[in-house]
């Protein structure tokens, strides 16, 4: 288990971190857990992008899907990911750094509005998305070959920074390879006013996947996914309240809205929570 240092070097920016919802989908709770739960009910899965700003730089984390894929998979697209980042004042045309947690369709699709971006990606994720694993339909299902091809082209255009394991992309912004959900998924650790915050993305889809724990059923390696929950805890310096799941609708009510108009759409993750995090983490 990786334990993050208590404090980064002096001068490290305290970043602002936003989660912005761009789409959603309704399905049964059973679809979210590998071990079945007796209480089945309709639940919502939210689709997010995240924005990290500070120290004069902006990092976008993941770029969702676009209209064509939303239609093909019958997902609700409320706004393009590239439009979603505008809600917190980011112009996609000027974004220079995009962390791509993994290459599933709902995390890497809206590429063209970000012409200046460089993509930070684990090499093991590209190997997974183009290699032998993709000859298995259950592993391939969440990938869109057109999106994968866009990233292969980006490699040849010198727009991909391949990461192998852990890398500090800017002072106080780290990516960590997690694996499990996909072979090369990574999560983000960022320094904020309340300490290390972990944008887990799909290393844990919902609070309950990690809190119970009961893994998400779309999985490449269950052992690595469970190990990943431990890694996320360590990345947050042991404070699990600072771990942000990738698809949980509760995120929008647990943290304060970025502004009044963005109620239910965008929240400030580096702010103090307004909901009871000990409850979602099943601590009481």
Interface with other proteins (CB under 8 A): 123, 126-127, 130-132, 134-135, 140, 143, 145, 148-149, 152-153, 155-156, 158, 160, 162, 164
Cα 99 to its chain centre, rounded Å, is: 9
* Residue number, 160 or 266, with CB nearest to other proteins: 160
CB of 165 to other proteins, least distance (A): 13
Tokens of 260: 């009044």
Instruction: Provide the residue count of the chain.
Output: 284
Q: Is the dihedral of CA 139, 145, 149, 150 positive or negative?
A: negative
Q: Are 98 and 110 in contact (CB under 8 A)?
A: no
> Measuring CA to CA, which residue among 29, 60, 84 is closest to residue 207?
29
CB of 155 to other proteins, least distance (A): 5
* Residue number, 53 or 130, with CB nearest to other proteins: 130
CB of 65 to other proteins, least distance (A): 17
Would you call 170 helix, strand, or coil by DSSP?
Answer: strand
CB of 145 to other proteins, least distance (A): 4
User: Which of left, alpha, beta for 261 (phi over 0: left; psi -120 to 50: alpha)?
Assistant: alpha
* Residue number, 1 or 145, with CB nearest to other proteins: 145
Cross-strand partners of 201: 245
* Residue number, 27 or 116, with CB nearest to other proteins: 116
CB of 163 to other proteins, least distance (A): 9
> Measuring CA to CA, which residue among 284, 244, 277, 280 is closest to residue 61?
244
The number of helix segments (H) and strand segments (E) in the chain equals: 9, 13
Angle between helices 123-130 and 145-156 (to 10 degrees): 130
* Residue number, 24 or 123, with CB nearest to other proteins: 123
CB of 34 to other proteins, least distance (A): 25
* Residue number, 153 or 282, with CB nearest to other proteins: 153
């Amino acid at each position: 288990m990786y334990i993050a240092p208590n404090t980064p070097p002096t001068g490290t920016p305290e970043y602002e971190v936003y989660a912005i919802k761009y789409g959603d989908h309704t399905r049964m709770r059973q679809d979210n857990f590998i071990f079945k739960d007796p209480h089945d009910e309709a639940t919502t899965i939210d689709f997010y992008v995240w924005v990290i700003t500070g120290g004069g730089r902006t990092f976008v984390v993941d770029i969702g899907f676009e209209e064509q894929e939303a239609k093909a998979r019958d997902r609700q697209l409320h706004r393009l990911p590239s439009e979603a980042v505008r809600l917190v004042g980011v112009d996609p045309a000027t974004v220079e750094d995009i962390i791509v947690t993994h290459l599933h369709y709902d995390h890497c699709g809206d590429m063209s509005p970000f012409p200046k971006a460089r993509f930070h990606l684990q090499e093991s994720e590209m190997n997974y998305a183009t290699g032998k694993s993709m000859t298995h339909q259950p592993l391939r299902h969440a990938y869109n070959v057109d999106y994968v091809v866009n990233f292969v082209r980006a490699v040849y255009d010198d727009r991909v920074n391949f990461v192998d394991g852990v890398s500090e992309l800017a002072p106080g912004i780290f990516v960590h390879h997690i694996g499990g959900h996909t072979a090369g998924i990574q999560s983000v650790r960022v320094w904020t006013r309340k300490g290390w915050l972990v944008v887990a993305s799909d290393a844990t889809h919902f609070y309950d996947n990690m809190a119970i724990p009961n893994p998400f059923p779309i999985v490449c390696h269950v052992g690595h996914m469970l190990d990943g929950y431990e890694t996320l805890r360590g990345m947050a310096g042991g404070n699990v309240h600072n771990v942000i799941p990738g698809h949980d609708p509760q995120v929008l009510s647990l943290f304060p809205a970025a502004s009044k108009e963005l109620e239910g759409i965008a929240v400030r993750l580096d702010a103090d929570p307004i909901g009871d995090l000990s409850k979602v983490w099943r601590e009481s």
